Amino acid sequence: MRQDEPSSSASWHLRPIRIQSVPMSTPPPSEPLKLLPAYLGVASLDEALQHPRVTRVLWLEILVNDAIAWETLSHPLIHEAYRTACRWHTKYRTLISTLVPRKPLPEDTGPIDDRLYRQFAEALDFAHAHA
């Protein structure tokens, strides 16, 4: 046995580790976002609204996230995304409520783009897995 190796009867003493606090460069988000941080790499709704791809995923965030009072926000991108989310929720209400607990969105029987179904399904899967 080497000299620096402990014997089986040796007792080990753990020394405390000093942890220094590191100031955060950005404050934690005030809104509990679910998809946007993973999909766009943003930390807040304000930051997301500046992202070039926000129009493609904001309706999905609204669809799975009822922690934000979306209907009270007056930004035009949010208004259009909210309308799209309401339409998808109307068509797939049972599927959504099974996978993601949320309050119902207002009914809107307007048309949806069925080509977005895969994106919709992946977002529901992600939200369900991270709930």
69 exposure class (CB count in 10 Å sphere: 0-12, 13-18, 19+): exposed
For 121, the domain range is 36-129
Half-sphere exposure of 18 (CA within 13 A, CB side): 1
d(CA 122, CA 18): 43
Residue 5 resides in a domain: no
Cα 120–chain centre separation: 14
pLDDT digit string, tens, across residues 15-39: 544 444 333 333 344 559 999 999 9
Q: Decide if 20 is inside a domain.
A: no
Residue 3 lies in a domain: no
Mean pLDDT of 38-59: 96
- Count of the separate structural domains present in the chain: 1
Answer yes or no: is 12 within a domain. Answer: no
Q: Answer whether residue 2 is part of any domain.
A: no
Is residue 16, in this structure, part of any structural domain at all? no
Please tell me the predicted confidence (pLDDT) of residue 18: 47
Q: How many residues does the structure list for the chain?
A: 131
Query: What percentage of the chain reaches a pLDDT higher than 90?
Result: 74
| Contact call for residues 33 and 61 (beta carbons, < 8 A) | yes
Q: What's this model's pTM, rounded to 2 decimal places?
A: 0.76
7 inside domain: no
Residue 42 CB neighbours (<10 A) = 18
In a domain, 53, yes or no: yes
State the DSSP code for 74: -
Query: Terminus-to-terminus CA distance in the chain, angstroms?
Result: 51
pLDDT at 7 > cutoff 90: no
63-95: pLDDT as tens digits: 999 999 999 999 999 999 999 999 999 999 999
Element (H, E) at 129: helix 117-129
